Amino acid sequence: MHQLSDVRQRLAALGAQPSHAQRVLRLWSNALPQDSGKRALDDFLPRRLREALPGLTADLAALAVLDSRHDADDGSSRLLVKLADGQACESVLLPRGGLCVSSQIGCAVGCRFCMTGREGLIRQIGSAEIVAQVALGRALRPVRKVVFMGMGEPAHNLANVMDAIELLGTAGGIGHKSLVFSTVGDERVFERLPQGPVKPALALSLHTTREDLRAELLPRAPRIAPADLVEAGDRYARATGYPMQVQWTLLEGVNDSDEELAGIERLLRGRYAVLNMIPYNSVPDLPYRRPTWEKAAAIARHLHRRGVLTKLRNSAGQDVEGGCGQLRARAARPVRFQPRTAAG
Ligand SMILES: C[S@@+](CC[C@H](N)C(=O)[O-])C[C@H]1O[C@@H](n2cnc3c(N)ncnc32)[C@H](O)[C@@H]1O
Ligand code: SF4
């Protein structure tokens, strides 16, 4: 039952009308106890469904189970989540009501600096398993924002991710721009995202403005020129009314050169975009280093002065067991630079 379609089929087999099904899905995805909706359930659900509900709820709760939890000083909390077949993925509860979820076990893109990319793709995470990560997070803390920045490339599991996003943006009660689809960029994403009833915000993992370097760092990402990626992201951002987030994992001596800064200015100035600079979090046995905080701050200040709205993510709390520091980076509090001249 790891897809939402399985859950819906089971509800339909129990005689649930679409509105009943939506009600049950709302209780589940909001992690509301069954009795919090008791009156509504009693009033509206057919008896057969009411009787089956405890069993169904138990099955939904078993989709994603908390295996371990590691709290960090910055208020984030990394959750190791066990799925029903024994596979494990990560979710991170972020400060201020955010939750970072995984879309795949492993990832086929193989970015050179990413822990997840090292193991290749193991399996897709089902749409119900994605919503179950949110329900699990909500059982621990309120969640108002969901970012797809955990394990996996959402573009490679597009149907499941969009199914989950559409449920979270409706029954799940999460604002559309608080659902953040993070991707290395893929034509299918730019086609699919504008079509749905729930349009998530877009985070584009760019990392470099140089086509050759991007092919080296993100070996199995689609070969789309950085300028074309930014153009497509900008179009989507203007259509939705919320800015594109451009993700830049800052690697010392790799993508922090003057040439790159000039490239960023050329690509992003005047765009409806925010540049998120995230100093690299170390992964065991990889040769990369993060620049000093002073250097990263100087880069962000420079770009800001040149009209590129830049946020430097403070990556405190990257001391995570298992080397999954990249997830911690999402917990970071953005450091803003003055004057705040928004690009565009
Ligand atoms: C883990 S990916 C998942 C979403 C999607 N696959 C993507 O790349 O956008 C989320 C973000 O984490 C970043 N990231 C991966 N490894 C990192 C590391 N070692 N340090 C800092 N950020 C990292 C990626 O570059 C990406 O922007
Ligand atoms: S950064 Fe994203 S796309 Fe790249 S390997 Fe990691 S999860 Fe996959």
Of the residues 90, 153, 166, 260, only one is catalytic, namely 90
What's phi and psi for 262, nearest 5 deg?
A: -65, -40
Alpha-carbon distance of 342 to 231, in angstroms, equals 18
Distance from residue 106's CA to the centre of ligand 2 (Å): 9
- The Å distance, Cα 204 to ligand 2 centre, comes to 12
pLDDT per position as a tens digit, 45-81: 788 888 998 999 999 999 999 999 999 988 999 999 9
Q: What angle do CA 69, 75, 80 make, to 5 degrees?
A: 20
> Which of the following is catalytic: 89, 107, 114, 324?
324
- Is 100 noted as a catalytic residue in this protein? no
Q: Which ligand is nearest to the CA of 118?
A: 2
Q: Tokens 């049950």, residue?
A: 24
Q: Is the ipTM of this complex over 0.95?
A: yes
Report which ligand 1 atom has the smallest distance to the Cα of 207.
25
pTM score, whole prediction: 0.93
Percent of the chain at pLDDT > 90 equals: 80
pLDDT in tens, 80-119: 999 999 999 999 999 999 999 999 999 999 999 999 999 8
Give the number of whichever ligand sits closest to the CA of residue 153.
1
Residue 247 alpha carbon, nearest atom of ligand 1: 27
- Find all residues with CB under 8 Å of 173, minimum gap 6, and list them: 26, 29, 30
In the chain, where the domains are located: 4-32+51-320
Which CATH number fits the domain 4-32+51-320, given the four candidates 3.20.20.140, 3.20.20.70, 3.10.105.10, 3.40.50.970?
A: 3.20.20.70
Rounded to whole angstroms, the Cα distance separating 124 from 160 reads 9
**Annotation marks residue 90 as catalytic:** yes
